[in-house]
Amino acid sequence: MGAWTVAAVGLGGNLGDVAATLHEAMHALDALPGTRLARASRLYRTPAWGNTAQPDFVNAAALLETQLDVRDLLDALLDVERRFGRDRELGERWGPRTLDLDLLLYGDAVIDEPGLRVPHPHLHERAFALLPLAEIAAERRVPGLGRVRDLLDSVDASGCVPLAGAG
């Protein structure tokens, strides 16, 4: 295992008991080898993005401290998704899903490789990712784009609301 890196992960879903799924997924992230859950946001109800003809999503963000390299972390996130019933091969792009785990940031890395882009290429456009991330890492810099807090100020987050009693 390598040095510790702080990674930001976006969590979401809109099928089944999503709040329970996201809480269980956070436990699964905390249990990854050489990884610990450092902070987690509240849960937010958010409108669907991309394909809007589907139920609202529940989204959250997590900061992980990890010794996994970026590819191993991505593979672990995809494995957690599969354990919760997500099949990226069969699923519709931006369609309904039980669990979506997006690697938003990995330290200060900028990576553009097949199957791996960090920072997440749509992070700066998505209130559903920025709002929970700003709750736990407002001052964090997104390489090439600026602080999370400033990016959040540039999008419309009015449709994103915290879930009562969730977090």
* From 45, 72, 102, 108, active-site residue: 102
Quick check: 25 and 61 in contact, CB under 8 A? no
The 10 Å Cβ neighbour count of residue 139 is 9
Max Cα distance, the chain (Å): 43
Catalytic residue among 97, 117, 147, 156: 97
Cis peptide before 96 (omega within 30 of 0): no
Q: Quick check: is 140 catalytic? A: no
User: What residue type is assigned to position 48 of the chain?
Assistant: A
Annotated catalytic residue 102: yes
> Is 100 among the residues known to form the active site?
yes
Q: Which of 39, 45, 100, 112 is catalytic?
A: 100
- The span from the CA of 45 to the CA of 27, in Å, is 20
Instruction: Please identify which of the residues 36, 75, 86, 108 carries the catalytic annotation.
Output: 86
Is 83 known to be catalytic? no
Q: What is the DSSP letter of 125?
A: G
Just list the catalytic residues: 86, 97, 100, 102
